Structure 1
């Protein structure tokens, strides 16, 4: 899921820095540095969008973009239009906002598109062309003893979102990610992931469907976040929901080959297939969302519990283990992240 933002932006060294390790890395000659990347994040606490601008000197600045929402989860940035879309848990709809990469701190961003009010408990967004899929973890049949979840499938044209159809599945959902035309989905409350091959073309009407394949990821207690870029899949482990110190994430290189090698219902072994990052230095408790930049091998995490919420990044994963973050930005209620270069 490589994402590139080619807008020619400048970050001023006088802005407040949020990276705990990069507070004093301004340019010695007083010149501004070129923007290298941006990370967008949502929050369950206030619903606004946070933008983290990372420059080529290693500095990070934070900007708060005011939205209509008071609680949001699931985010996507479209670099071609400089628009950010988030799923609102307070308004129960998708909202798209303009000028996301250049709007100053504390400004209310302009709404350019909104869906109808369809959602119940949105958790993530996955985008493939003009198709926007929202994973919703509300109980579909009203029976808490049966596992189920739902995908709301929208088409976006200009300023219009149209609900095309809903897809009900026999497991609770959370994170989702397109790899080509295949939709990978976290099976919430388990250590499993499922795939729906050729998802958008196959599932065009309201229906209850079974996954094309489902496997268990050894070493994970309960997965939530999922991200893919350059052949590598990232899966987060929230562990026990009540703990703010037992989180982790797994890095699986050459993911599609390894996934295809496991039979439906089987288990992908940890040894030889995955790298696990966990431990006190990671600051991971409930990592609910992830993104990945394969160019720099950087993992981005929305951490919901530790410290009340953080946006974290990791660039020195190596063989895994107790690795500290390179970016540690406090964000109350952090719920999702999206990286763009």
Structure 2
């Protein structure tokens, strides 16, 4: 396990190629790290490229993949691989030996991929050898009714097998496992749904959420990430605006969510909201949170044509906070932090 103190992380990111720091930090960080593997941030784009940012040494590089439109990413530290949900072609893709990638590689090919089952993938969540893909394509042919799908794949040594498909009665977007509970964004709303023991649903069919709560202050949520007891949700607001987005930080999330009744509201008093012109948040479509460094990483799709943003001291941040990092990345669709 890497032990990385926030000052070094901040300075490394500020010096990163293409990144712009929005504040200064002159702390002496000589003794603030135990020398181990580097912390990485991976970002996918709607052009199919993957950008890897080394958060320790400040390097970054971009590779083109077997996808021409990627959205949803997971890094598996056990075999140094990336699992990417491709919107074109409509497949789940596996890229191995990611730790061997370097700036001399402009193109990488998927080692294997699923059959073309997907329709409109938006996010991936992994639990053991099972991968769940949230797909927001219309299910019943009536786009006036709310519905969505979760594709559940099993991963073998050399391939993905579609185990089953679960249909739900709401439009889906971001998903996240916390233990065996799957949390899912209810798209076009301010709601968050949970499915206890989600993977026990091992046949095709309709499944109802265990609980759905409204999150006060959010207009339209999209992304979510959980680490160390804190849940971060994104608010894209009006999808046509590039300046009305926000982040909602919920510390002690498990207790607060469990104490909120089904169909009730998790109030603003139990959250912190980051929003305003200085944040550069318009359509924050995806998010990653690292509790050890207390940093939030954001895939901001609309503002400036696309940015990767980072906010430090996240569990105490609120209001019109200035991002610690602002990196332009056109068409960014997802981010994944790996330490």
TM-score normalized by structure 1? 0.89
**Whole-Å Cα distance in 2 between the matches of residues 231 and 24 of structure 1?**
29
Show the 5 A alignment for 1:123-142: 123-142=122-141
**Which of the two has greater helix per residue?**
2
Match among 306, 310, 317 for residue 309 of structure 1: 306
**Whole-Å Cα distance in 2 between the matches of residues 24 and 310 of structure 1?**
20
Match among 283, 288, 293 for residue 296 of structure 1: 293
Residue pair 1:137, 1:149 contacting (<8 A) in 2 also: yes
**Whole-Å Cα distance in 2 between the matches of residues 81 and 154 of structure 1?**
18
Show the 5 A alignment for 1:233-244: 233-244=231-242
Show the 5 A alignment for 1:247-286: 247-271=245-269, 273-286=270-283
| Residues 264/235 of structure 1: CA separation in 2 closer, same or farther (3 Å cut) | same
Residue pair 2:176, 2:224 contacting (<8 A) in 1 also: yes
SS of the aligned residue for 2:55 comes to strand
Give 1:30's aligned residue: none
Give 2:28's aligned residue: none
Residue pair 1:98, 1:110 contacting (<8 A) in 2 also: no
**Whole-Å Cα distance in 1 between the matches of residues 187 and 68 of structure 2?**
24
| Residues 143/5 of structure 1: CA separation in 2 closer, same or farther (3 Å cut) | farther
Q: Structure 2: any 5+ residue segments left out of the alignment?
A: 5-11, 26-34
Give 2:31's aligned residue: none
TM-score normalized by structure 2? 0.90
Match among 219, 223, 228 for residue 230 of structure 1: 228
**Whole-Å Cα distance in 2 between the matches of residues 110 and 80 of structure 1?**
20
1:48-75 C-alpha deviation (Å, 9 max, x unpaired): 11111111xxx53221122011111000
Asked if residue 18 in structure 1 is aligned to residue 18 in structure 2, the reply is yes
1:298-323 C-alpha deviation (Å, 9 max, x unpaired): 11110010010111111133241111
Alignment coverage as a number of residue pairs: 322
**Whole-Å Cα distance in 1 between the matches of residues 324 and 24 of structure 2?**
14
Give 1:183's aligned residue: 182
SS of the aligned residue for 1:60 comes to coil
**Whole-Å Cα distance in 2 between the matches of residues 36 and 100 of structure 1?**
13
SS of the aligned residue for 1:257 comes to helix
**Whole-Å Cα distance in 1 between the matches of residues 153 and 232 of structure 2?**
25
**Whole-Å Cα distance in 2 between the matches of residues 293 and 252 of structure 1?**
14
Q: Give the C-alpha shift of residue 113 in structure 1.
A: 2.2
Show the 5 A alignment for 1:321-336: 321-336=319-334
Q: Give the C-alpha shift of residue 275 in structure 1.
A: 0.6
Residue pair 1:43, 1:73 contacting (<8 A) in 2 also: yes
Q: Structure 1: any 5+ residue segments left out of the alignment?
A: 7-11, 26-32
**Whole-Å Cα distance in 1 between the matches of residues 265 and 111 of structure 2?**
44
SS of the aligned residue for 1:116 comes to coil
1:244-296 C-alpha deviation (Å, 9 max, x unpaired): 0000010001111100101100000101x101000111110000001110001
**Whole-Å Cα distance in 2 between the matches of residues 310 and 16 of structure 1?**
14
Show the 5 A alignment for 1:50-89: 50-55=51-56, 60-89=58-87
**Whole-Å Cα distance in 2 between the matches of residues 303 and 35 of structure 1?**
27
